[in-house]
Amino acid sequence: MVTLKNISFSYKKEHPLLNAINLTIHPGEHIGIMGPSGCGKSTLLKIINGTIEKERVKGEFSKSTELTFGSIYQNLDNQIIFPNVLDEIVFGMENLCYSKQQMDEKLAEVTQMLDIGHLLEEETVHLSGGEKQLVIMASILCLDVDVLILDECMSQVDEKGKKLILHAIKALKKKGKTVIMVDHDRTRLESVDTLYQIIDGNLKVI
């Protein structure tokens, strides 16, 4: 479980970005967050993921210590490390000492789910934005994380890529995984359990 109580955050003291946010995310829940550009959606995700120092955040934030997180943010090039697609996808599994059998099984499962088997030998620098999003998602799905955070994860994919990602998200729901999605397009958030909107720094159910 992830709980935020009266969370406020500001990059500039005179301009609070988030104001008294209250949110509880239960295991296996899928939530969507909407709002105009610059309203604080990505910042809220970073607070949940723990990439913003607690000292800079006002309010109470808690999450189960055993939870594992995987995130896809909008700055795709900052999330890709290796020049080769296969190396990029398997790095996390190697780092966590997966056995070769485990790695082969997860790689086959995820590349089939996202239909990117044909990209495994490609150089990441030659990928389109949509292909990069799929590769980053594959690397995270291979790790079987508890909570998947998606910040505009369909912004650069075509209609086929969108359908593949939505299919993957539905599969995660069946597995009891928690998904937190941010998107400006409401049609991409149709499968969520609860849809929120950030308005003037406040989080409201819509």
- The two beta strands, 202-205 and 2-9, are unpaired
Cβ atoms of residues 49 and 130 within 8 Å: no
Terminus-to-terminus CA distance in the chain, angstroms?
Answer: 22
Q: Following DSSP, what letter does each residue of 59-106 receive, concatenated?
A: EEEEE-TT--EEEE-S-GGGT---SBHHHHHHHHHHHTT--HHHHHHH
**Distances, alpha carbon 155 to alpha carbons 20, 62, 73, 75, 98, in Å:** 29, 30, 11, 11, 31
User: What pLDDT band is residue 202 in, cutting at 50, 70 and 90?
Assistant: very high
pLDDT at residue number 14: 63
pLDDT at residue number 73: 86
Rounded CA separation 4/22 (Å): 5
Copy the structure tokens of residue 85: 């697609």
Count the neighbouring beta carbons within 10 Å of the beta carbon of residue 68.
11
pLDDT at residue number 49: 87
DSSP summary character for residue 123: B
Provide, rounded to the nearest whole percent, the portion of the chain with pLDDT above 90.
64
- In terms of Cα–Cα distance, which of 25, 122, 17, 116 is closest to 69? 25
- In terms of Cα–Cα distance, which of 161, 178, 163, 160 is closest to 71? 178
Question: Is residue 80's pLDDT more than 80?
Answer: yes
Average pLDDT of the residues in 3-15: 86
Q: Collect all residues with Cβ–Cβ distance below 8 Å to 83 and sequence separation of at least 6.
A: 123, 124, 125
Copy the structure tokens of residue 129: 């934005």
Average pLDDT of the residues in 182-200: 90
Q: Collect all residues with Cβ–Cβ distance below 8 Å to 10 and sequence separation of at least 6.
A: 16, 17, 18
pLDDT at residue number 53: 84
Cβ atoms of residues 25 and 31 within 8 Å: yes
Q: Which domains does the chain have, with CATH numbers?
A: 1-67+182-206 (3.40.50.300)
pLDDT at residue number 15: 74
Question: Is residue 91's pLDDT more than 80?
Answer: yes
Provide the whole-model pTM: 0.89
Give me the chain's average pLDDT, please: 91
User: What pLDDT band is residue 13 in, cutting at 50, 70 and 90?
Assistant: low
Average pLDDT of the residues in 27-40: 92
pLDDT digit string, tens, across residues 101-143: 999 999 999 999 999 999 999 999 999 999 999 999 999 999 9
pLDDT digit string, tens, across residues 155-173: 888 899 888 888 898 888 8
b or e along 1-27 (b: 16 or more beta carbons within 10 Å of the residue's beta carbon)?
A: ebebeebebbeeeeebbbbebebebee
